[in-house]
Amino acid sequence: MKRVFTLLLVVGLILVGCGGQKTSNTLSVGTSADFPPLESIDENGNFVGFDIDLMNAIAKQMGYTVKWENSDFAGLVASVQTGKYDAVISGMTITASRQEEVDFSDPYFRSDQAVVVQNSNTTIKSQADLADKKIGVQLGTTGEMLARKLVNANGKVFTYDSPDQAFLDLNTGRLDAVVNDLPVSSYFLEKNSNLPLHIAFDIPTDEYYGIAVKKGNTDLVTKINKALAELKSDGEYAKLYKSWFGQEPPTQ
Ligand code: ARG
């Protein structure tokens, strides 16, 4: 009887051990799922988008599975710093100031900014025209930094938790313009073609998105970069890019 008990105990411990092993193969990844076609949550509650597919593929290549976590964009960098998430993928531009707080993978996507206005607007044609305007942006984004540089004392920047909220306020006339990443703005306008909004012009900011990890976690960055390079060379990256953006990725 005692033997059986010991045996059960040993088997139990092994099972618990395996369970533990499984957890350590999980990568907790934060994203602000308000940025289609890069990241959003579909009607079934699943995380979907180019970033989601890419990170799942990277993790798979590394022998991990992703545990997705949704959060406001403005809080993502801090959550990587404190270790709440192992990594963040969120259309996040690699900037010098963010590089002081987190480490980034190699760039995986190039982007610019777009200025969206109402169709009836005929006055906003260039960056200078934005100086005295009411501009909506997503809080904590490169769009916010840019808008703050463009306005003078007569203009004002309004921050929103998500780009969609800014677009809706633009639609009701509370804002004169929205400054937001180009691929996401064009996607929004395409999906909401009933709204009388359009892109007035692009601002070629030449931004590159990267995957953020805790500062000093070179082991994880190295693994991510290796997986990313493999996905690029085996055609998987191009496949994902095509499926979300309908065209071949730019050659760079
Ligand atoms: N690329 C911009 C930035 O890094 C905006 C990113 C916003 N991402 C999001 N998932 N809402 O600031």
Structural domains of the chain in order of their starting residue, each with its CATH number: 25-108+210-245 (3.40.190.10), 111-207 (3.40.190.10)
Cα-to-centroid distance, 225 and ligand 1 (Å): 20
Report the alpha-carbon distance of residue 7 to residue 3 in Å, rounded.
6
Lookup: tokens for 69: 């976590």
Residue tagged 């990170």 (tokens): 55
Report the alpha-carbon distance of residue 89 to residue 64 in Å, rounded.
15
Closest ligand 1 atom to residue 95 Cα is 4
251 pLDDT band, cuts 50/70/90, is confident
Mean pLDDT of the chain: 93
CB distance 29 to 87 below 8 Å: yes
73 pLDDT band, cuts 50/70/90, is very high
178 pLDDT band, cuts 50/70/90, is very high
36 CB within 6 A, ligand 1: no
Choose the residue to mutate in 184, 205, 206, 211 for probing ligand 1, maximizing ligand atoms within 8 Å of C-beta. 184
244 CB within 6 A, ligand 1: no
Cα-to-centroid distance, 82 and ligand 1 (Å): 20
73 CB within 6 A, ligand 1: yes
pLDDT at residue 6, rounded to an integer: 52
**48 phi/psi in degrees, rounded to 5:** -140, 155
> What's the pLDDT tens digit per position in 93-111?
999 999 999 999 999 999 9
Three-class DSSP category at 181: strand
Regarding predicted confidence, which is higher, 12 or 240? Answer: 240
pLDDT at residue 3, rounded to an integer: 59
**pLDDT at residue 225 is higher than 90:** yes
Q: Taking residues 200-222, what's their average pLDDT?
A: 98
**pLDDT at residue 166 is higher than 90:** yes
pLDDT at residue 5, rounded to an integer: 52
Write down how long the chain is: 252
Report the alpha-carbon distance of residue 83 to residue 220 in Å, rounded.
13
Three-class DSSP category at 206: strand
Neighbouring residues of 99: CB distance < 8 A, sequence distance ≥ 6:
none
Three-class DSSP category at 192: coil
Helix axes 182-191, 163-171, angle to 10 degrees: 60
Closest ligand 1 atom to residue 90 Cα is 10
Residue tagged 């970069």 (tokens): 225
Q: Taking residues 217-233, what's their average pLDDT?
A: 98
Lookup: tokens for 89: 């993928």
Q: Taking residues 129-146, what's their average pLDDT?
A: 98
Lookup: tokens for 130: 């934005």
**pLDDT at residue 12 is higher than 80:** no
